[in-house]
């Protein structure tokens, strides 16, 4: 089985052909076509940019438990359409992914879907209760080879439990991805950035400091234990300051930002539309600008979607009662390009959306250099296209898409996963 990707600009620069044989890149360059076996399928990539397949550190696939909102299959489809070839499926399913068996089930569903690598994230604590460690080692040693652990949706708020998790995960190269939200400081109903908008709207505030105190605590725990810590969906300028300081100290901390936190601001909540209700909440412009700057200078390591599909009825409540989260997989690349247009070239996009997330997640087959011998995970993008997002056109089962009607820069044209074309001309192959 072979595929010739013709005329793509690798990382937006040198134009070359890529020959893929048996799922791996066999040759790159002007003479690649001459090495193609007979019967090789050709994919026209003239004018397109080739990137290593995108890797999402933070996806909610909802299966098991809420298959009406998303399944591993439909989430994989959304990922492929968005140019992804690997996603990390968060553990807050029903039941929670806190055992090797549960992790294996998600992993196998991903293999059956066959569109992206679905790598399960294991819960840090049993049932996400924040009290007892889940079976981190068994999940790591299973065929799913879980390396990232998170109670996402909830913060591991007990410092002693967090310390133990950080220490324990060292044995198998694991990393704890923390949802940084002090539950007491934020309060049980917190749903809007605490500030002028929450004050005017009478919405319970979720102050940036509730994120920052946990980030500060965790980097100190990581320093104390000599462990890796990953900060999920960082959202406040204050957290960035802490992370910048921690990196300067040599503390092993990485962090991610969502595409939506790079553009959308808390001002959007004045209409009380729950599509903009997300956790952590949308922050003011000054935080958004700080996040962009930190992504540009490398303080923020990766972009992760926090793709959070919800059934329509779970969003059709009063704002404070509606579910948190928004879709992200299909629009992430366009949002990042739109937000970072002045700062980023394609190599930067590849760094924050593929190479670094793959490294953080321990996915050795992803995030490569598009070089011979590597697994053929390739995303092909039209850099000049603009796309007006239509939520009805989504392949996700859900429609909580905050970008509906927005014009985004660039378009994923083809996605290749392990040599197989999963998306052709923007549609599932």
For residues 273 and 297, which CB has a smaller minimum distance to other proteins in the complex?
Answer: 273
For 291, the 3-state DSSP assignment is helix
Report the site for other proteins in 243-282 (rule: CB under 8 A).
271-273
**Smallest distance from other proteins to CB 206, Å:** 10
Q: Which of 165, 173, 177, 219 is nearest to 92 (CA)?
A: 177
For residues 170 and 200, which CB has a smaller minimum distance to other proteins in the complex?
Answer: 200
* 319 touches other proteins (CB under 8 A): yes
* 224 touches other proteins (CB under 8 A): no
Distances (CA, A) of 239 to 98, 188, 340: 28, 21, 20
How far is the first Cα of the chain from the last one, in angstroms, to the nearest whole number?
A: 16
User: 263 burial class (0-12, 13-18, 19+ CB within 10 angstroms)?
Assistant: buried
Q: Report whether 230 belongs to an annotated binding site.
A: no
Q: Report whether 317 belongs to an annotated binding site.
A: no
Of these, 104, 138, 201, 296, which contacts other proteins (CB under 8 A)? 201
* 372 touches other proteins (CB under 8 A): no
* 324 touches other proteins (CB under 8 A): no
CB 36, CB 76: distance < 8 Å: no
- For residue 153 the two structure tokens come to 């949706």
Q: Report whether 179 belongs to an annotated binding site.
A: yes
CA pair distance 227, 233, nearest whole angstrom: 20
For residues 274 and 368, which CB has a smaller minimum distance to other proteins in the complex?
Answer: 274
Q: Report CA torsion sign: 141, 142, 144, 146.
A: negative
**Smallest distance from other proteins to CB 190, Å:** 11
Rounded to the nearest 5°, which phi and psi values hold at 74? Answer: -70, -35
Q: Report whether 428 belongs to an annotated binding site.
A: no
DSSP 8-state class, residue 280: S
Q: Report whether 324 belongs to an annotated binding site.
A: yes
* 367 touches other proteins (CB under 8 A): no
**Smallest distance from other proteins to CB 386, Å:** 29
* 200 touches other proteins (CB under 8 A): yes
Q: Is 287 a catalytic residue?
A: no
CB 26, CB 10: distance < 8 Å: no
Q: Report CA torsion sign: 41, 42, 48, 50.
A: positive
Report the site for other proteins in 297-316 (rule: CB under 8 A).
313-314, 316
**Smallest distance from other proteins to CB 398, Å:** 14
For residues 321 and 343, which CB has a smaller minimum distance to other proteins in the complex?
Answer: 321
Of these, 320, 385, 428, 429, which contacts other proteins (CB under 8 A)? 320
* 211 touches other proteins (CB under 8 A): no
DSSP string, 120-173: EPBPSBGGG-SSSB--HHHHHHSTT---EE--TTS----HHHHHHHHHHHGGGT
Q: Which of 370, 359, 385 is nearest to 302 (CA)?
A: 359
**Smallest distance from other proteins to CB 71, Å:** 22
**Smallest distance from other proteins to CB 307, Å:** 22
Select which of 68, 306, 382, 425 is catalytic: 306
- Binding track, positions 169-198, relative to other proteins; x by CB under 8 A: -------------------------xxxxx
For the annotated binding site, the residues are: 58, 60-62, 92, 152, 179, 233, 279, 306, 310, 324-325
Give me the residues that bind other proteins (CB under 8 A), please.
Answer: 194-205, 207, 271-273, 313-314, 316-321
Active site residues: 306
């Amino acid at each position: 089985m072979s595929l010739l990707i013709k005329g793509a600009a690798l990382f937006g620069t040198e134009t070359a052909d890529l020959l893929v044989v048996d799922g791996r890149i066999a040759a790159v360059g002007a003479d690649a076509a001459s090495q193609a076996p007979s019967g090789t399928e050709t994919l026209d990539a003239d004018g397109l940019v080739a990137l290593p397949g995108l890797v999402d550190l933070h996806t909610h696939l909802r299966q098991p438990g809420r298959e009406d909102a998303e399944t591993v299959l439909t989430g994989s489809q959304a990922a492929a359409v968005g140019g992804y070839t690997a996603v990390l499926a968060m553990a807050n399913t029903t039941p929670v992914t806190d055992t090797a068996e549960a992790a294996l089930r998600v992993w196998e569903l991903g293999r059956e879907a066959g569109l992206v690598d679905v790598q399960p994230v294991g819960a840090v604590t049993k049932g996400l209760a924040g009290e007892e460690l889940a079976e981190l080692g068994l999940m790591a040693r299973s065929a799913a080879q879980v390396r990232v652990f998170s109670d996402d949706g909830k913060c591991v708020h007990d410092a002693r439990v967090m310390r133990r998790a950080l220490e324990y995960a060292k044995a198998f190269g694991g990393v704890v991805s923390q949802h940084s939200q002090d539950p007491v400081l934020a309060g049980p109903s917190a749903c809007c950035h605490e500030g002028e908008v929450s004050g005017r709207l009478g919405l319970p505030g979720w102050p940036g400091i509730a994120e920052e105190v946990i980030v500060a605590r965790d980097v100190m725990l990581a320093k104390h234990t000599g462990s890796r810590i990953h900060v999920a969906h960082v959202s406040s300028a204050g957290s960035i300051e802490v992370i910048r300081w921690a990196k300067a100290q040599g503390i092993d901390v990485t962090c991610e930002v969502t595409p939506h936190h790079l553009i959308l601001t808390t001002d959007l909540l004045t209409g009380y539309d729950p599509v903009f209700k997300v956790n952590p909440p949308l922050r003011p412009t000054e935080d958004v600008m700080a996040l962009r700057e930190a992504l540009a200078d490398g303080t923020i390591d990766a972009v992760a979607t926090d793709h959070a599909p919800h059934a329509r009825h779970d969003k059709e409540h009063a704002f404070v009662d509606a579910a948190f989260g928004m879709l992200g997989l299909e629009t992430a690349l366009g949002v990042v390009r739109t937000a970072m247009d002045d700062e980023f070239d394609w190599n930067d996009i590849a760094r924050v959306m593929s190479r670094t997330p793959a490294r953080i997640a321990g996915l050795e087959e992803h995030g490569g250099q598009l070089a011979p011998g590597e697994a053929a995970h390739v995303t092909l993008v039209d850099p000049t296209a603009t796309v007006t997002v239509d939520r009805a056109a989504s392949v996700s089962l859900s429609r909580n898409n905050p970008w509906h009607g927005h014009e985004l820069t660039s378009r994923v044209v083809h996605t290749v996963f392990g040599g197989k074309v999963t998306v052709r001309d923007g549609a599932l192959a």
